[in-house]
């Protein structure tokens, strides 16, 4: 991104749906100021803790707000990033608003795992995380229709981001792929934490059955790997860079 966008430590970044600051903190050294926006107070608090180190805290700002509440008086930016967050939003509204928040020539960057890969654990020391079995267990507890926070996704996660960004007046995109494939090791606790971090299996969805679900989940994982360890490969990252030209919206 630094090469593609010619980032030089100046300018401002807004990370929309920033979560615990994973993306904003990684890019902070490339900007004069970074602003993370997320509706979840716990995520914002974690981002603040992550930014406490020298060189970041003084130029990072964390705002608890929904993307639909933008521009929220936050000013203009050189770059806006969405790290696997855009599909949760009122996409047409947010895309048009963010375009107006970018300075002429600014960029909107949409980042996600590369979904077309089928990574294997061949050559790695531990079995793969049994994702299909975990998904089946979630469905046993929560039903066959995929949950999404307080609602459901009867048709799955929405796609068609390119059409949304084009309607908002962006040009492009330029596609970049950052190769993954690095060997990772996961513990049972790691996998349990991952399951509860997902919107379709968040703790509150289980109501009074959370403890039972977690017991069944841990049993499933121990059966899949008696050592309690799993191997997987980090996914590649797909990046789409959309540009705002200098013309008025």
- Cα(19)–Cα(38) distance, rounded to whole angstroms? 6
Q: What percent of the chain has pLDDT over 70?
A: 92
- In 3D space, the residue among 163, 139, 109 whose CA is nearest the CA of residue 216 turns out to be 139
**Residues whose CB falls within 8 Å of the CB of residue 81, separated by 6 or more in sequence, listed in order:** 13, 14, 15, 16, 23, 24, 27, 108, 109, 110, 111
- Cα(17)–Cα(108) distance, rounded to whole angstroms? 13
* pLDDT above 80 (res 149): no
Domain range annotation of the chain? 2-243
Whole-number pLDDT of residue 67: 95
Whole-number pLDDT of residue 249: 35
215 vs 246: which has the higher pLDDT? 215
**Residues whose CB falls within 8 Å of the CB of residue 57, separated by 6 or more in sequence, listed in order:** 51
Q: How confident is the model at residue 151 (pLDDT cuts 50, 70, 90)?
A: low
- The model carries a pTM of 0.83
Mean pLDDT over residues 197-223, rounded? 94
Average pLDDT, the chain: 91
Mean pLDDT over residues 227-239, rounded? 95
Does the domain at residues 2-243 carry the CATH identifier 3.40.50.150?
yes
* pLDDT above 50 (res 98): yes
Whole-number pLDDT of residue 159: 67
Q: How confident is the model at residue 147 (pLDDT cuts 50, 70, 90)?
A: low
- In 3D space, the residue among 210, 217, 211, 209 whose CA is nearest the CA of residue 192 turns out to be 217
* CA distance between the termini of the chain: 25
Residue 55, burial from CB neighbour count under 10 angstroms (0-12, 13-18, 19+): exposed
Q: 23-70, pLDDT tens digit by residue?
A: 999 999 999 999 999 999 999 999 999 998 767 888 999 999 999 999
* pLDDT above 90 (res 198): no
Taking every pair of Cα atoms in the chain, the longest distance, rounded to a whole number of angstroms, is: 61
Mean pLDDT over residues 186-214, rounded? 94
């Amino acid at each position: 991104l630094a090469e593609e966008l010619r980032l030089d430590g100046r300018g401002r970044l807004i990370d929309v749906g920033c979560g615990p600051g994973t993306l904003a903190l990684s890019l902070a050294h490339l900007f004069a100021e970074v602003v993370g926006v997320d509706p979840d107070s716990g995520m914002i608090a974690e981002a603040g803790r992550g930014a406490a180190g020298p060189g970041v805290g003084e130029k990072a700002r964390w705002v608890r707000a929904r993307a639909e509440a933008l521009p929220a008086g936050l000013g203009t930016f050189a770059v806006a990033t969405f790290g696997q967050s855009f599909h949760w939003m009122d996409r047409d509204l947010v895309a048009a608003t963010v375009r107006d928040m970018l300075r002429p020539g600014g960029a909107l960057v949409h980042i996600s795992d590369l979904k077309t890969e089928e990574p294997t654990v061949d050559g790695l020391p531990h079995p793969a995380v049994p994702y299909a079995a975990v998904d089946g267990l979630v469905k046993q507890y929560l039903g066959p229709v995929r949950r999404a926070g307080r609602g459901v996704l009867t048709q799955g996660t929405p796609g068609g981001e390119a059409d949304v960004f084009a309607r908002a007046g962006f040009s492009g995109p330029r596609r970049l792929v950052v190769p993954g494939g690095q060997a990772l090791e996961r513990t049972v606790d790691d996998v349990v934490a991952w399951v509860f971090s997902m919107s379709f299996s968040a703790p509150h969805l289980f109501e009074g059955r959370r403890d039972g679900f977690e017991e069944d989940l841990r049993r499933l994982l121990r059966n899949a790997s008696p050592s309690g360890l799993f191997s997987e490969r980090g996914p590649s990252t797909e990046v789409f860079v959309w540009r705002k030209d200098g013309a008025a919206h």
